[in-house]
Amino acid sequence: MEAFASLADGLTVAIQPMNLLFALIGVLLGTAVGVLPGIGPALTVALLLPITFKLDPGGSIIMFAGIYYGGMYGGSTTAILINTPGESASMATALEGNKMAKAGRGGPALATSAIGSFVAGTFATLGLTFLAPYLVDIAVSFGPEDYFALMCVAFVTVSATFGDSPVRGLTSLALGLLLGLVGIDILSGQSRLSFGIPELYDNVEVTTLAVGLFAVGEALYVASRRHVHEEKLEAVRGSLWMTREDWKRSWKPWLRGTAFGFPIGALPAGGAEIPTFLSYSTEKRLTKHPEEFGKGAIEGVAGPEAANNAAAAGTLVPLLTLGLPTSATAAMMLAGFQQYGLNPGPLLFADQPKLVWGLIASLFIANAMLLVLNLPLVGLWVRLLKIPQPWLYAGILVFATMGTIAANPSPVELIMLTVFGVLGFLMRRFDFPIAPVVVGLILGPIAESQLRRALSISLGDPMVLLQSPISATLLIIALLALIAPFVLKGLGRFKAVED
């Protein structure tokens, strides 16, 4: 019961008044920004990163936890009320949730998604609590070659295995890895791909990339096709509360969604989309009201929302124990840790137990805060949704540029932001996934240093990667995951459910 003791320790950190305040601010900011249409949790964290630069690490990481969960919650509110999911993982929620809102049942849809998120978040965070110490024990025995192989698995699953097109996914990843090369190589002191530009010597900032790709790219994309479709905000009419019937129809999908979401999020299998669509199709099959699916079935909101949140908490398992981000949001969290010189992984559990367990305990608290705050505040969030689109995107761009130059006061940084924005626009237009670029940029340099460490221990013999049984197994898994989508054309079909 080592986990319990550690968690209790963490709780004493998390319930300090200042930390509670940080969690509260995080939850409110996260929800407020996440609610804005077109802003997913990854961009929420990226936009709010500069605000935390000057805070102390413990408090600001607790704030991130709140932003992370708040951003997820805000995203589903948008999905239900205007049918513009900020990220693919809320697409399933938008399917049924928006239909419910149109039918005047927006209140219960928001309620089942809030309570479902709470249930899933709590169970998944419990899962994290108990799984983390075991994984840390295993991870301690990993050599650099094993880490490198593990990162290869993450690279492949994030980019190729479950996307629409493995070639486009891998292309995104390669662009991220390329950006990861830019700057001074720490081990040899030589500059790579910097072309004599001083600002490029200290690497490409992950926040600049993420804000460029997500915020500027999204603004350009939405503006360029404004003529294609207009969004409509559904008013929340009638009662916010769920009826007895709603509860009866919701609790099983919550639990099943959690059961799909947590393991898939915790394995480095990339993202929350798969569990949400798995949950959606399962609920569609198991429901006693099949006629309601497609017209606003509450099961179709409860299940995918729970799956989404459980997967989000699940991605914290590889992030915290192995330092392995498997989604764009997790990559942003890692960037948040790195800005304080903290490297998630087994060592962090040993060196900074108070910080890690304080963070995990704060997840429970943030989750409970969201449940208590969000339903009463739903009127406020709806008002945020009413900001006219021109001002909304103008405001997002202003905040994005300010955050970027506050972090790095140089026009070159803004030029990079603009270039990444154009890149993000083109990637959206040609349907290249965005998350692999961000994961590639942040994980690429880590993978490189592990690879070079392994090679220098083996005196340059690449066979070291196959001689360690762990590394060999992981590399075979990576290879299978790479080949699978080419052989089994059906893996991308989870996404087809939306049609």
Give CA angle at 446 (210, 415), nearest 5°.
30
Q: Considering only 113-121, 333-341, 371-379, 423-431, which stretch makes contact with other proteins by CB under 8 A?
A: 423-431
Please give the Cα distance from 472 to 457 (Å, whole number): 17
Spell out, one character per residue from 367 to 406, where the chain touches other proteins: x when CB under 8 A holds, - when not.
---------------------xxxx-xxx-xxx-xx--xx
Task: Say how many residues make up the chain.
Answer: 499
Residue ranges in 274-293 that form contacts with other proteins under rule CB under 8 A:
none
Spell out, one character per residue from 143 to 182, where the chain touches other proteins: x when CB under 8 A holds, - when not.
---------------------xx-xx-xx--xx-xx-xx-
What letter represents residue 471's amino acid?
A: S
Please give the Cα distance from 226 to 152 (Å, whole number): 39
CB distance 427 to 434 below 8 Å: yes
Please give the Cα distance from 206 to 318 (Å, whole number): 19
Q: Does 415 bind other proteins (CB under 8 A)?
A: yes
**Cα 480 to Cα 117, 165, 266, 308, 473, distances in angstroms:** 33, 16, 19, 26, 11
Please give the Cα distance from 215 to 464 (Å, whole number): 42
End-to-end CA distance of the chain: 47
CB of 18 or CB of 167, closer to other proteins: 167
Binding other proteins (rule: CB under 8 A), the pick from 11, 24, 185, 368 is 185
Please give the Cα distance from 153 to 472 (Å, whole number): 11
CB of 12 or CB of 410, closer to other proteins: 410
Q: Does 456 bind other proteins (CB under 8 A)?
A: yes
Residue ranges in 108-137 that form contacts with other proteins under rule CB under 8 A:
none
CB of 301 or CB of 416, closer to other proteins: 416
Binding other proteins (rule: CB under 8 A), the pick from 24, 131, 138, 192 is 192
Q: Does 226 bind other proteins (CB under 8 A)?
A: yes
184: phi then psi, degrees, rounded to nearest 5 = -80, 130
Instruction: Kindly list the residues in this chain that would bind other proteins in the complex (CB under 8 A).
Output: 50-51, 53-54, 164-165, 167-168, 170-171, 174-175, 177-178, 180-181, 185, 187-188, 190, 192-193, 216, 219-220, 222-228, 388-391, 393-395, 397-399, 401-402, 405-407, 409, 411, 414-415, 417-418, 421-422, 425, 429-431, 444, 448, 451-452, 455-456, 459-460
